Amino acid sequence: MTENMNITSDDFFKQYNGHDNRYSTFKLIGVSADQVIAVLNKMGQTNKRIDTFSIGSGEEERGEPTVVSFEGCKIGPELIYPLTRELNCVGFADTAWDEYVFIAAKDGGDYYDFTAEWEDGEPLDRPDDDNCYDAFIKVTDIASGVTFGTGAGAIDKETVDYYGSLVAEH
């Protein structure tokens, strides 16, 4: 059995193309990139999808609080649960391949202290020429004010309704 290659800082911050857009996006609040990399490497010992080939496009926004975001190729957004549990923090994650999912988590469980609003006003009630809709949401953590963009373009009405329910509930 081969061991995963540890993720280095260079790997984490490299530009990343999401391998045909099959990726999830993660944002963690109140942690450093070094902490996130260490936890990902620890997880990579048992989850062979977490390695230098699957994690990238990392960013660290130093401020109060420090915010770290990254992408994971072919890694579902549910990874946010163990990440927030290990790091004792709040995090957001989403994916827009195969299915459309948004998750907010804190300390390994679901998190509800955020607002959600349409980015460019409510989506049109009618599709575009390709019979598709666009629905983009801005999620804001109430405690920190940190924002996370979720949603998708070229989607069906059912998916627009999914994002609409997120806005209506928050």
DSSP code per residue over 3-38: PPPPPPHHHHHS---HHHH-EEEEEEES--HHHHHH
What global pTM score does this model have? 0.91
Q: How many structural domains comprise the chain?
A: 1
User: Is 72 exposed, middle or buried (CB count within 10 Å of its CB: 0-12, 13-18, 19+)?
Assistant: buried
**Is 3 contained in some domain?**
no
**Is 89 contained in some domain?**
yes
Query: Mean of the pLDDT values across residues 91-119?
Result: 93
* Residue with the larger pLDDT of the pair 121 and 18: 121
**Is 4 contained in some domain?**
no
Residue type (1 letter), 66: T
- Asked whether the predicted pLDDT for residue 21 surpasses 80, the reply is no
pLDDT of residue 2: 45
Query: Mean of the pLDDT values across residues 113-124?
Result: 88
Per-residue confidence band for 16, with pLDDT thresholds at 50, 70 and 90: low
**Is 88 contained in some domain?**
yes
**Is 20 contained in some domain?**
yes
**Is 1 contained in some domain?**
no
Strand pairing category for 99-106 and 90-97: antiparallel
* Residue with the larger pLDDT of the pair 165 and 130: 165
Instruction: Read off the pLDDT of residues 49-99 as tens digits, 9 standing for 90 and up.
Output: 787 778 888 999 988 899 999 998 888 899 999 999 999 999 999 997 778
Query: Mean of the pLDDT values across residues 22-36?
Result: 94
**Is 119 contained in some domain?**
yes
**Is 53 contained in some domain?**
yes
Q: Name the average pLDDT for the chain.
A: 88
pLDDT of residue 165: 94
Residue 50: domain span: 9-169
d(CA 54, CA 136): 25
d(CA 91, CA 105): 5
Phi and psi, residue 84, nearest 5°: -70, -30
pLDDT of residue 4: 58
pLDDT of residue 143: 97
Tokens of 17: 């193309």
- Asked whether the predicted pLDDT for residue 18 surpasses 60, the reply is no
pLDDT of residue 141: 98
